[in-house]
Amino acid sequence: MADTMQFDLVSPERRLASVQATEVQIPGADGDMTAMANHAPTITTLRPGILRVVHSGGTDEYLVSGGFAEITAGSLSVLAEEALPRAEVTQEVYSGMLTAARENHAKAEEHDAVDAAAKLLADMVAVGTHMGLSSQ
In-domain check, residue 136: no
Same domain flag for 35 and 93: no
Q: What is the pLDDT of residue 121?
A: 85
Taking the chain (136 residues) in consecutive chunks of 10 residues, what is each chunk's mean pLDDT? 87 95 95 92 94 96 95 94 94 92 81 74 87 84
Same domain flag for 102 and 126: yes
Closest CA to 8 of 87, 88, 79: 79
Same domain flag for 47 and 104: no
Q: What is the pLDDT of residue 60?
A: 97
In-domain check, residue 29: yes
Q: What is the pLDDT of residue 113?
A: 66
Q: What is the pLDDT of residue 68?
A: 96
In-domain check, residue 67: yes
CA dihedral 121, 133, 97, 68 (to 10 degrees): -70
Q: What is the pLDDT of residues 33-50, one digit of tens each?
A: 999 998 999 999 999 999
Q: How many domains does the chain have?
A: 2
Q: What is the pLDDT of residue 1?
A: 47
Same domain flag for 79 and 117: no
Q: What is the pLDDT of residue 112?
A: 64
Closest CA to 12 of 78, 62, 70: 78
In-domain check, residue 135: no
Same domain flag for 95 and 57: no
Average pLDDT along the chain: 90
Tell me which residue range forms the domain holding 22.
5-86
Decide: pTM greater than 0.85: no
